[in-house]
Amino acid sequence: MFGRLTAVDRVDLAVEPGEIVGLIGPNGAGKSTLINVITGIEPPTAGSVVFDGQRLDGLRPAAIARLGVARTFQIAQPFRHMTVRQNVAVPALFRGRSAPRVSHALREADAILETVGLGPKRDFPAHALTTPDLRRLELAKALALRPRLVLLDEVMAGLTPAEVNEAMELLRRLHGDGLTLLVVEHVLRAVMGLCHRVVVLHYGRKIAEGPPARVTEDPAVIAAYVGTRAATR
Amino acid sequence: MIRPAQAASGALRQGLRAGYATAALVAAGLLAAAVFPLVAGGYYVRIVTGIYMFGVLASAWNLIGGYTGYPDFGGAAFLGIGAYTTGILLGQHHWPFAGALLAGCLLAAAVAAGMGVLLLRLRGHYFAISTLGFLLVLQQLAANLGITGGGSGMNLPVARSFTGFYYWMLGVLAVAVAVGEAFPRSRAGYALAAIRENQDAAQVLGIEPLPYKILAYATNAFFFGAVGGVYAYWFTFIDPPTVFNIDFSIQAVVMCLFGGPATSLGPVVGAIVLKSLDTILTNVSLFLHNVFFGALVCLLVVFAPRGLAELVRAPEGLWAAIRAELREHRI
C-alpha cells in the first residue's frame, strides 16, 4: 500500500521451478509494484515473499539478488559510462560466494554476451546501444548473477515482430538451461508463445489464472482490458 | 586476415610494451624525485614537499569525491586527527615517528568509518554540509580539550634533518597514487563505479552500497591523516585553526577537479599546476594569491557546475560539453 492507495491487494502468486509464468494486466494493475516487492525495493505492507523456503520480505535488494532472484527493468538501467562488458562483469563480481576475480568476471561477461548476442559490442559504452541491445544487456546482467529465477519486466516493449521472435527464442533457450521465468508482458504473442501459465492482475487484484489460451478467453480478463461492453457482446 | 590468436597476442605484446614504457617512466620519475634534494636548495625542496602534500590530498579526495561521487568538504578533520595523534604519541609518549604516523592514519580511518555510517546516508549537498559540520565540531573539540593543548596548540619535538620530510611526503604520495591506480580495477572500484552510475541498479545486482562508500571514505581519511602527521612533525607546531582548516579540503577538491578525477595521476597534475601557480602568485602579489582559489572556484562553478569529471568524460568532447553547460544555465 502507498498511503491510501492499494497497489497490490492480497495477490497469491506461486511459481514452480522450471515454469514460465506470465503476469499480465492493464497498465496500473500493480505488476511492477509486485516485482518491486519481490526484489526488496518496496517492503510489503502485509503478507510474505518466500523463495525456496526462505523469506525474502525484509531482506535488502542486494541480499535478494545474491540468493538467486534477478530482474530486468522496464526502462533499461545500464551503467551508461561503462562498457557493455564491464556492465555484465559487475553482477558477476557481486553474486556472492561463487563470485570470481575481476579478470575472470570479465571473461565470464564475454561468454554471457555471446549467449545473448551482444558479443561484437562488448567494448561499446553502454550509452551507445540501441533499445533491443539495451534489453539484451539487461538480460545479460541478470544472467551474470547466476539466478534461479528471473523476473522480466516488459522486455518485449517496443520491439519489432522479428525482434520479439528473437527474444522468445533466447528466452526459450535460457529456460531450457534450467531458468525459471516470471514474465511481465503486454505483448500477447510472447505471453501465448512462452508461458505455461498466466496470472492476470487488475486494480491490484488477481482476477484470473490458468493456461494462456483459457485466460485470454476469460470475459473478466477481456473486460479488464477493453471495457465491459466488449466482454458482454 | 589476422587470425584471432595472432591478433590477441599482438595486442598483448602492445599492452606489455605500453606497460613497460609506463613502468620506465614511473621509475625515472621516482629516481628524479629521489635525487632532487641533493641538487636543489632548501627553499625549492620545501615547495616541492608542499606540492607532494597536496598531491596526496587531491588523490585521496578523488576516492570519495571522484570515484564515489560524494563531495567531502571535511577532509581536514582527518588531517587534524592525524596531526594531533602524531603530536601526542611522538611528543608526549615518545613513540617513533613511523609508529605515531601510522597510528594517526588508522585512527583517522576508524573515525571516518564510524562517521561514515551516519554521513554517507546523505547525498549531494547535504553530505557536503554535514562533513563541514563535522570538521567544525572537531576544530572546537581540539580547542577545548586538555590533551590537545587547547587553543594554545601543541609543540612537537624538532627533527634532526629537514629533508626527511621531503622523503616522507614523497613516500605517502607514491602509496596514494598506487592506491588510486589499483582502486578502479579492483572489485571495490567496480562496486563504486556502479553505485555512482546508478545506485538502484547496482543494488539489484548484488551490491550493498554503504560498506563500499565507507571503504572509500576511510581510505581517503587514512591519507588525510598521513598528511596531517607528516605536516605536524614538519612544522613542529600545530593548533586547531591551522590543521582543522577548511583550506586543505577546498584545495584538495579544486586540484582534483582541475586535474581530472577520471585518472589516478589527474589529481597529482592538478596539485602540481595549481600549487606552482599559487607559489608564483604569492611572490608576485599577495592580493592575487588570496583571490586565486576563490576565482578558480567561481570559474569551475560557471563552466563546469557538475564538475570537470562530467566535462572530461563527455562523449561529445570538452568544448561542446562546456557550451552545452553554458546554454543550460543561460549564461
H or E, element range at B154: strand B154-155
Question: Is B310 inside a domain boundary?
Answer: no
Question: Is A157 inside a domain boundary?
Answer: yes
Whichever domain contains A175, its CATH number is 3.40.50.300
Check whether residue A106 and residue A217 sit in a common domain. Answer: no
Question: Is A75 inside a domain boundary?
Answer: no
Mutate to test the interface with A, among B204, B212, B213 (most CBs of A within 10 A): B204
Check whether residue A225 and residue A160 sit in a common domain. Answer: yes
Question: Is A73 inside a domain boundary?
Answer: no
Mutate to test the interface with B, among A77, A80, A95 (most CBs of B within 10 A): A77
Name the band, by pLDDT with cuts 50, 70 and 90, for residue A2.
Answer: low
Q: Which residues in chain B have their CB less than 8 angstroms from residue A93's CB?
A: 187, 190-191
Residue that is last in its domain, among A111, A146, A181: A146
Residues 179-198 of A with CB under 8 A from B: none
Count up the domains in chain A and report the number. 2
Q: What are the pLDDT digits (tens) for B111-144?
A: 999 999 999 999 888 999 999 999 999 999 999 9
Check whether residue A137 and residue A112 sit in a common domain. Answer: yes
Whichever domain contains B217, its CATH number is 1.10.3470
What percentage of chain B exceeds 70 in pLDDT?
A: 87
Q: What are the pLDDT digits (tens) for A159-186?
A: 889 989 989 999 999 999 899 999 998 8
Residue that is last in its domain, among A122, A146, A170: A146
Nearest to A61 among B191, B197, B203 (CB): B203
Name the band, by pLDDT with cuts 50, 70 and 90, for residue B280.
Answer: confident
Angle at B137 between CA B135 and CA B139, to 5 degrees: 70
The boundaries of the domain holding residue B254 are 36-284
Q: What's the pLDDT at B312?
A: 58
3-state secondary structure of B144: helix
Question: Is B304 inside a domain boundary?
Answer: no
Q: What are the pLDDT digits (tens) for B28-78?
A: 888 888 888 888 888 889 999 999 999 999 999 999 998 888 999 999 999
Q: What's the pLDDT at A158?
A: 83
Question: Is B289 inside a domain boundary?
Answer: no
Report which residue type is found at B160.
Answer: R
3-state secondary structure chain A: CECCECCCCCCCCCCCCCCEEEEECCCCCCHHHHHHHHCCCCCCCCCCCEECCEECCCCCHHHHHHCCEEECCCCCCCCCCCEHHHHHHHHHHCCCCCCCCHHHHHHHHHHHHHHHCCHHHCCCEHHHCCHHHHHHHHHHHHHHCCCCEEEEECCCCCCCHHHHHHHHHHHHHHHHCCCEEEEECCCHHHHHHHCCEEEEEECCEEEEEECHHHHHHCHHHHHHHHCHHHHHC
Q: What's the pLDDT at A232?
A: 47
Check whether residue A106 and residue A141 sit in a common domain. Answer: yes
Q: Which residues in chain A have their CB less than 8 angstroms from residue B310's CB?
A: none
Q: B203 vs A65: CB contact, 8 Å cut-off?
A: yes
Q: What's the pLDDT at B120?
A: 93
Residues 122-141 of B with CB under 8 A from A: none
3-state secondary structure B193-217: HHHHHCHHHHHHCCCCHHHHHHHHH
Question: Is B134 inside a domain boundary?
Answer: yes
CB-based contact (8 Å) between A66 and chain B? yes
Task: Say if residue B80's pLDDT is above 50.
Answer: yes
Check whether residue A119 and residue A140 sit in a common domain. Answer: yes
Q: A91 vs B206: CB contact, 8 Å cut-off?
A: yes
Q: A90 vs B207: CB contact, 8 Å cut-off?
A: yes
Q: What is the ipTM of this complex?
A: 0.85
> Between A227 and A111, where is the model more confident?
A111
Backbone phi and psi for residue A58, each to the nearest 5 degrees, phi listed first? 100, -15
Grid cell, residue B123, equals 547525498
Check whether residue A162 and residue A121 sit in a common domain. Answer: no
CB-based contact (8 Å) between A85 and chain B? no
Name the band, by pLDDT with cuts 50, 70 and 90, for residue B311.
Answer: low
Mutate to test the interface with A, among B195, B198, B205 (most CBs of A within 10 A): B205
As beta bridge partners, residue A149 has A69, A180
Question: Is B18 inside a domain boundary?
Answer: no
Name the band, by pLDDT with cuts 50, 70 and 90, for residue B325.
Answer: low
**CA distances for B322 relative to A101, B67, B260, B270, B312, angstroms:** 39, 22, 15, 19, 10
Q: What are the pLDDT digits (tens) for B201-259?
A: 999 999 999 999 999 999 999 999 999 999 999 999 999 999 999 999 999 998 988 88
Q: B206 vs A141: CB contact, 8 Å cut-off?
A: no
Task: Say if residue B1's pLDDT is above 50.
Answer: no
Q: What's the pLDDT at A144?
A: 94
Check whether residue A84 and residue A176 sit in a common domain. Answer: no
Q: Tell me the pLDDT of chain B averaged across its residues.
A: 86
Q: What are the pLDDT digits (tens) for A116-173?
A: 989 999 999 999 999 889 999 999 999 999 999 999 999 888 888 998 998 999 999 9
Angle at A122 between CA A120 and CA A128, to 5 degrees: 100
| Under 8 Å between Cβ of B206 and A96 | yes
Name the band, by pLDDT with cuts 50, 70 and 90, for residue B316.
Answer: low
Question: Is A74 inside a domain boundary?
Answer: no
| Under 8 Å between Cβ of B73 and B131 | yes
Question: Is B115 inside a domain boundary?
Answer: yes
The boundaries of the domain holding residue A211 are 1-68+147-233
Check whether residue A128 and residue A23 sit in a common domain. Answer: no
Question: Is B20 inside a domain boundary?
Answer: no
Check whether residue A142 and residue A161 sit in a common domain. Answer: no
Check whether residue A224 and residue A153 sit in a common domain. Answer: yes
Task: Say if residue B17's pLDDT is above 60.
Answer: yes
Grid cell, residue A125, equals 559504452
3-state secondary structure of B302: helix
| Under 8 Å between Cβ of A72 and A48 | no
- CA B139, B141, B143, B149 dihedral sign is negative
Question: Is B108 inside a domain boundary?
Answer: yes
Check whether residue A54 and residue A151 sit in a common domain. Answer: yes
Check whether residue A7 and residue A99 sit in a common domain. Answer: no
Task: Say if residue B2's pLDDT is above 50.
Answer: no
Count up the domains in chain B and report the number. 1
User: CB-based contacts of A131: which residues, under 8 Å, 6+ apart?
Assistant: A76, A158, A159
Angle at B169 between CA B165 and CA B173, to 5 degrees: 170
CB-based contact (8 Å) between B312 and chain A? no
Q: B197 vs A71: CB contact, 8 Å cut-off?
A: no
Name the band, by pLDDT with cuts 50, 70 and 90, for residue A5.
Answer: low
Burial zone of A60 (CB within 10 Å; 0-12 exposed, 13-18 middle, 19+ buried):
middle
Q: What is the mean pLDDT of residues A22-41?
A: 87
CA trace torsion B167, B169, B172, B174 (10° rounding): -70
Q: What's the pLDDT at A131?
A: 87
The CA distance from B160 to B147, in Å, is 26
| Under 8 Å between Cβ of B138 and B75 | no
Q: What's the pLDDT at B310?
A: 57
Q: What is the mean pLDDT of residues A219-226?
A: 81
Q: What's the pLDDT at A157?
A: 86
Residue that is last in its domain, among A129, A146, A163: A146
